[in-house]
Structure 1
């Protein structure tokens, strides 16, 4: 009868601890990258239950799928857009600007208008989420 020798070296490596470490590092990486994402600061109007008697000027800025700007349906250049918004704010300090972008519009154009409104310090900013022409 022959006795087996249990002191033989292992032929394989246990990878479970290495996988555990990889998963922990992956979770830490995901948490750190999502925590450092920068965003926009927007002051959206607060809803109110009581209707307001005050009437303030409202400008609707539309952005076509090609990236052209329109104020209340009239095409304008970015410089004219800024001039018209400045003039409207001078007439009515509580001016409201609604941004209406087509779903095919590049998001950068919408952000360009939002940045312009923030730079002009217009507090009433709204986003319209309907397709142009509806």
Structure 2
């Protein structure tokens, strides 16, 4: 009996680190997902205006026209037909769909007008133009 008591009180020779590694991997995955999810939209050089700043509403979709004339819906490249199809899908889910149009100051005016015409055709009335505030 004395031998049994002594074996129960012996210190562990090694520590099981598997639960700690599992936690570290979960935290790493969460960090990666949150970091990549926060990156949204395409960076463009917005034109300057002295108008008051409008705040984007939830569920807002962003149409971006780059300097080269590329068109993006949120952060995804689209052509005009895809833009119309996807906006129509979003409009079906939310009849009061707000859209913001971010056009580069040196972008092709024709592409910006095509995007506005698509919004008009779909009956999207809440369209905001993104600009920089004048100093």
Provide the TM-score with structure 2 as the length reference.
Answer: 0.53
Q: Distance in 2 between matches of 1:91 and 1:56?
A: 14
User: What displacement does 1:57 show?
Assistant: 2.0
| Match for residue 62 of structure 2 among 37, 48, 60 | 60
SS of corresponding position for 2:107 = coil
Match of 1:16? none
Which structure ranks higher in relative contact order (CA pairs < 8 Å, sequence separation ≥ 6)? 2
User: In angstroms, what is the RMSD of aligned CA positions?
Assistant: 1.6
The structure with the larger Rg is 1
Alignment of 1:116 with 2:118, yes or no, is yes
More helix by percentage: 2
Ranges in structure 1 where 5+ consecutive residues have no aligned partner? 1-46, 48-54
Provide the TM-score with structure 1 as the length reference.
Answer: 0.54
User: Where does structure 1 differ by over 3 angstroms across 4 or more consecutive aligned residues?
Assistant: none
Ranges in structure 2 where 5+ consecutive residues have no aligned partner? 1-51
Corresponding residue pairs, total: 77
Q: Distance in 2 between matches of 1:118 and 1:101?
A: 17
